[in-house]
Structure formats: structure tokens, C-alpha cells
Structure 1
């Protein structure tokens, strides 16, 4: 009994084809139906009709923050050590402090370069602890960057002198 029902349903589904009729009424309105009407024409449907929808990529909060940051002109300044200051430390350790104006509320990173080379990884804070730096003249630059690493402001170069006493 089950097999007969199954075969019957399969035959019925093969015979069932959707036919669409189109006609225009006396008021000029176009109508479509699956039932034949007087003066109706059969609409031929293509076998491979595809509807394609492309959605825009969703924006993330980080994208919005990055766009807001990039739209404003920020300035980074090194507040310590001073220009041409002599830093005295036998271990070659000293602190660099930077500020950004106008004040930035969102998340951003800051990175320091010593003589044009990055020191360490970008960080959230504005205080850098430099360790074991060789004595002599050095140039410092601090970059402010978005979370994706794009620099949006840099400090002017700051020249300093690191002095280390020698033992005799």
C-alpha cells in the first residue's frame, strides 16, 4: 500500500507543472493567475531564474571609531624629556611621555620610534619605558594610530642626549 502511494505521488508531481496566465482587464490593469481567463496568454517562465541580492558589509564599531579619528586633525607632542635634554642614566633607561590633542576618547594606539626604528609594540598608554639604550644623541618620534595600525598623527622629532658615566 505504501509503495503504491509513493509511486502515485511521484507520478502526480511529475505531471504537475505551474502554468501562469497573464491578461489585461477593461481598465488596463495587468493580472496574473494560475487559472485560465478569457483573452489570457500563457507566460513562459525561464528554468534558471535566479534572484540575487547583495548586501553591504556590516560596519563594525572599530570602523566607525577609525573613521571618526581620521576625520579630525590630531597633534602628538612629546612632553618629556625636553628638546635637547641630557638624560643621565648609567643603565640607559628613561621614560618618554607624549600627549595627543584634542583629547581622544576612543581606543587608539601609540608607538615610539628611536632614531627612526620602532621600539616595542604599539600600546594603549602614552608613557613609554625605554631600557638599555646606548649613550649618545637620539631622535624620538611618537605615532598615534588606529586599532588597525594606520598612523593618523605623529609628533615632531625630539632630539635628546643620553649620558652614561664610565668607571675608571
Structure 2
């Protein structure tokens, strides 16, 4: 039984090596077939017409692994104003100084949030100058932000108080 199957497979495979014929029809269209037609000519296939793929791998180079940026822990400390500092300014001006350790990677920026609202946009300077802040209690936070928008580090929230003189206050008694 196996012998008959093997012989039949060999016969079928020999037929697959048939000659390829090429002819042009009356419209000028070129056709190829394994069956001979009128005005068809046999096409000889060269061995170099077969597709061959070879994969060349480059030689292994010495690879140095850089320190993963995600493993670096940045520390942001608000150096001034101090915690629960009282600032007296009628214009609502405020200067926030920050210390960052270690140095931020290139392209990273610092942002300042006052009461959870982004007040000062991204900047490379560690000094923020604000104006027009209303009187009262405020919480400030500084974030280090990468180019893709990911927050690398945040400072601890700092509570401050801004006092402004009011025209509506009680009048002073004159002597």
C-alpha cells in the first residue's frame, strides 16, 4: 500500500515540473500557462529566477547599558517661602525658589501649581515669580515634568498665607 502511494506521489510531482508556455493574444496581452496553445512558445526558466533569502546578522558589538531613567529618584524641595510663611504684599506678588536634586535630564521642565491649578507653565528656571495672587491661604507644589508630559517628581505641598491691606478695614482714630 505504501509503495503504491509513493509511486503515485512521484508521478504527480513529475507532472508539476511541466514546461511553461508563453503566448500573446489578439489584444496584445501576454499569457503564461502549462498547457500549449496556438502560437505559444516554451519558456526556459533559469536557476537564478528562484527567490532566495539569506539573513545576515551584524557582528555583536559591545553593548553598554545606561542607567534606567525611571530608577533615578529626583527630589524637589521648595526653599522659599517657608512652610506656613506669612507674606505681606498688596499686589499679590510671590517668589518661589526650588532646589532639585539630582539635575533633571535634558528637556525636562518645572511647573508650579497654586491651589492645584497650574499657575506657571513649564520652565527650566528654579525660580518662579508670581503676581496677582489673592490674599488668603494657598498651597504650592512644584512638579518636574519630562518632555512626554510624565511627572518625574513633585515637591511636598507648602502652605503659605498672603496678606494684603484692605481699604475696607476699620478707620484709625486720630488724636
Q: TM-score range by the shorter chain?
A: 0.5 to 0.7
User: 1:161 corresponds to which residue?
Assistant: 161
Q: Hey, what's the Cα distance between the residues in 1 that align with 2:155 and 2:163?
A: 24
- After the TM superposition, which residues 48-127 of structure 1 pair with which residues of structure 2 at under 5 Å, given as runs? 68-104=68-104, 106-127=106-127
Deviation of 1:114 (Å): 0.5
User: 1:130 corresponds to which residue?
Assistant: 130
Q: Hey, what's the Cα distance between the residues in 2 that align with 1:154 and 1:19?
A: 70
- After the TM superposition, which residues 12-27 of structure 1 pair with which residues of structure 2 at under 5 Å, given as runs? 18-20=45-47
Change (3 A) 1:72 1:132: same
User: 2:4 corresponds to which residue?
Assistant: none
Q: Tell me if structure 2 keeps the 8 A contact 1:144–1:153.
A: yes
Q: Alignment RMSD, CA only? A: 3.1
TM-score (norm 2): 0.58
Q: Tell me if structure 2 keeps the 8 A contact 1:76–1:101.
A: yes
Q: Tell me if structure 1 keeps the 8 A contact 2:120–2:128.
A: no
Aligned pairs, number:
118
Deviation of 1:143 (Å): 0.2
Q: Hey, what's the Cα distance between the residues in 1 that align with 2:70 and 2:45?
A: 56
Deviation of 1:167 (Å): 2.3
Mark the runs of 5 or more structure 2 residues left unpaired by the alignment: 1-40, 56-65, 169-175
Deviation of 1:130 (Å): 1.1
TM-score (norm 1): 0.60
Which of 1 and 2 has greater Rg? Answer: 2
The 3-state SS of whatever aligns with 1:97 is: strand
